[in-house]
Structure 1
């Protein structure tokens, strides 16, 4: 089993963009949240989330990512079920296991949640709700690159109601808001900070 520390070393070796690292940390947090909820292995699910985009900077096209990154992960002895989960978040690899379905459901959604947080007056996850995300969901010009239909379909395939899923991922990301620089002007309890 690849440890979280080993996975993070892989990330920092291949990824230089802090925004991309924060995206992978967000997906890791969401994966851990669901693993705990489903009595699965939070370490394994977390590592899959953390590593899922490790090769995006070296293979920045959907034709190559994540398939061209899989051999690198195998050389680094990342377990095959994690490699398969990472492959399944791309095109052409069927998602079968709960871990694979969860990764697909959480991936794009974390980006939308981050984008909504950043346009709020607080610039914080601590006061963000699913209803705020729902308002921006309807605005197709907002975060236009994020495919809402894909998020909805992947969430349905994972077996969770969409807005409950949004709430769950917000809760998961709140746990690491300081790491993501998404505390904004609030404390974890939602009160104003002294910043």
Structure 2
């Protein structure tokens, strides 16, 4: 089993863009949330979320990502279960999502970007006062966060067997846990302080 520290070393070896790192940390947080919710291994699920886009900067095309990244992960001793989950998060690889962990990764990937974008345009610039209703208001505006694939977000929630807006709320809650690390505290004090 690979631990978070080892996964972070891989991330920092291949990823320099702080926004991409924040995306991967967001997906990690969401995966840990769902692992806890479903009684699964939060460390394993978290590592999958953390590593899923590790090769995006070196393979920034659909032809390459994440297929060309898989051999690199194997060289780093990443277990096949993790490699397979990462391969399955991209529809174009042809790797079917068969496990709950694989379905959760697909469900959590795109939605974190949309949530981040909505948080950043709010007066508070914070996750602490963000709810799915704010995300819902921006959902239909295709020009807003145009890179966030709404069809994939909806399909991911459906594959995971969860209502889309409940899923959005869950991912917001997960990302709140690491809001300071993501720079998404905004001008609101943490509810836990």
Give TM-score scaled by structure 1 length: 0.96
Of the three residues 178, 182, 185, the one matched with 2:187 is 185
- CA positional deviation for 1:81: 0.6
- CA positional deviation for 1:145: 1.7
- 1:118 matched residue in structure 2: 120
- CA positional deviation for 1:150: 1.1
Please tell me whether the aligned partners of residues 124 and 183 of structure 1 are also in contact (alpha carbons under 8 angstroms). yes
Aligned structure 1 segments of 4 or more residues deviating by more than 3 angstroms: none
Determine whether 1:66 maps to 2:66.
Answer: yes
- 2:5 matched residue in structure 1: 5
Of the three residues 135, 138, 141, the one matched with 2:137 is 135
Please tell me whether the aligned partners of residues 105 and 151 of structure 1 are also in contact (alpha carbons under 8 angstroms). yes
- CA positional deviation for 1:67: 0.5
- 2:173 matched residue in structure 1: 171
**Range moving further from structure 2, 142-151 or 30-39:** 142-151
- 1:49 matched residue in structure 2: 49
1:16-27 equivalences under 5 Å are 16-27=16-27
Q: Which runs of 5+ in 1 are unaligned?
A: none
Please tell me whether the aligned partners of residues 15 and 55 of structure 1 are also in contact (alpha carbons under 8 angstroms). yes
Partner-residue secondary structure (3-state), 1:104: helix
1:74-113 equivalences under 5 Å are 74-90=74-90, 91=92, 92-113=94-115
- 2:15 matched residue in structure 1: 15
- CA positional deviation for 1:190: 9.1
Q: Which runs of 5+ in 2 are unaligned?
A: none
CA distance in 1, matches of 2:139, 2:149: 10
Root mean square deviation, CA, Å: 1.1
Partner-residue secondary structure (3-state), 2:130: coil
Please tell me whether the aligned partners of residues 59 and 66 of structure 1 are also in contact (alpha carbons under 8 angstroms). yes
